[in-house]
Structures are given as C-alpha cells and as structure tokens.
Amino acid sequence: MIKEALQYLIGLGNTEILTAATGQEYASQPVHLIKQPTPEALVVRNLSGLVDYLINNFDDQPPVLVHVASPTRVDVFSSYNQDFNRNHLIQAKALLPRITFGQFMDAESFNILLQSCFVPNDARAIVLKVIGNLKEETVSNIGDDGVSQQVTAKTGVATVENIIVPNPVALKPFRTFVEIEQPESEFVFRMKSGPTAALFEADGGAWELTAIARISEYLQGALEDEIKSGKVTIIA
C-alpha cells in the first residue's frame, strides 16, 4: 500500500502533454492553474474618499479604470494581469438610510420617514401637511378614481374637511452618494384606513440612470487632471 502511494506521488510529477488525432491537446494528469494574487479592494463610504485615493496615487498604480457600476457603487480596477484578472483596488459604497417603498405604515412613522430620508422640496411639504393634519378615521374612497383620494384632515382649530391627496408626487429620497444632487422621481402616494400611507415607485428606474450620470460627471470634474494625464479612465 505504501509502495502504491509512493508510485502515485512520483507519477504526479511526470505529467505529459498528449495530442489526439483531432489535434486537441490533453494532459496525462489533472493540472491546476496557480493564479497570480490580486489585492482585496479597499472599501470607502463616499466619493470623496475614492477621489483622494486616486489623486494621491497611494499604491503607485499604473493607469486605472473607474467603473460607475450603480447609483450606490463605484469600482476602481487596474489593467488585467497574465491570468486576465483585474486588480480591484478600491470600491466606494454609499452609506444610505433604509427606505421602504410599497409598504403601508402608520402616519407617525410615515411622517418621520419623509423628514429624515427625503430632501426637502415642495411635494414633500404638501405630503407632510396632509399626513400631519389627518383625523383618525377611515380614509374616504368616495370619488377615488385610482389616482386621487380624499382624506379627512384638520383645517383649523376644531374644523375638518375632505381634501384631495396629491398624486403622483415628485420626491427626492436619499438613494445615492451624498456628494451629488439626489435624483427626483415620481411616486404614487396612497392611503388606507388607520390611517396608513405608502409610496410606490413610478418612474421605471429612470432615476438610477440619472444618478449614474451625475456620479460620472462629479468624478470627471474632481479627477480632471488625472483624466487628462491618462492616469484615470471613467466609464458608466
């Protein structure tokens, strides 16, 4: 048994390359590629950190490729090595609040969500006014045409009246890096008894393309000298 094991080990060192009649080449033993090592990417949480890394050329890298992968991620790669693998040098991942769309929540939670996770604009102010003055009774669906709803809201110290819930609403949630202007997109604003409220995304994801374009524009301005010198190439 020991003899057989030794013969097997010796055989591992005698790998031959065989050519078949078809011209294809085969190895007489299983072989595995010893890959050239690549670094683990450094992760930062904003675009400024990524820009600082590239301007200072901390790792003394040759020309690099900056890929705006999504509204929340930017990757920096070197050229590929002999194994056709790229060095992933640094990655920027946006640190963002958790925003739940398409889920009804009570008026107080919805109010807090709007104030803490959305950029102030006219539409946000209107929705906050509706939510902040609701009377706790069933949301009226009389005259609900699938777009506009009526709710009972306070209009004075002791009076109430039916008001129309705005729809759609153009809002700016925090969904990408803080260094760029948050994209504005349309949402369907709906309410149910409780009262509860929810926002449903209604732009088909167009905001993502806008965010990617703005990230690319920001990086091109911040890395203008590096781009001109050929040290940095940006793709989106």
168-191 pLDDT per residue, tens: 999 999 999 999 999 999 999 998
C-alpha distances out from residue 204 to 21, 96, 185, 186, 214, Å: 56, 21, 10, 10, 18
Q: Is the pLDDT of residue 14 over 70?
A: no
Closest CA to 161 of 169, 151, 171: 151
**Is the pTM here over 0.85, yes or no?**
no
Question: What is the per-residue pLDDT across 47-66, written as a single tens digit (0 to 9) for each?
Answer: 999 999 999 988 888 899 99
3-state class of 218 per DSSP?
helix
Section 13-20 average pLDDT: 68
Q: Could you give the CA distance from residue 88 to residue 46 in angstroms, rounded to a whole number?
A: 17
The confidence score (pLDDT) of residue 11 equals 58
Q: What separation in angstroms does the CA of 208 have from each of 35, 203, 217, 231?
A: 36, 10, 14, 27
What pLDDT does residue 143 have? 46
Mean per-residue pLDDT for 23-38?
Answer: 74
Determine whether 112 is exposed, middle or buried from the number of CB atoms within 10 Å of its CB (0-12, 13-18, 19+): exposed
Model confidence over 122-149: pLDDT tens digits?
Answer: 999 989 988 877 766 545 544 455 555 5
> Quick check: 171 and 121 in contact, CB under 8 A?
yes
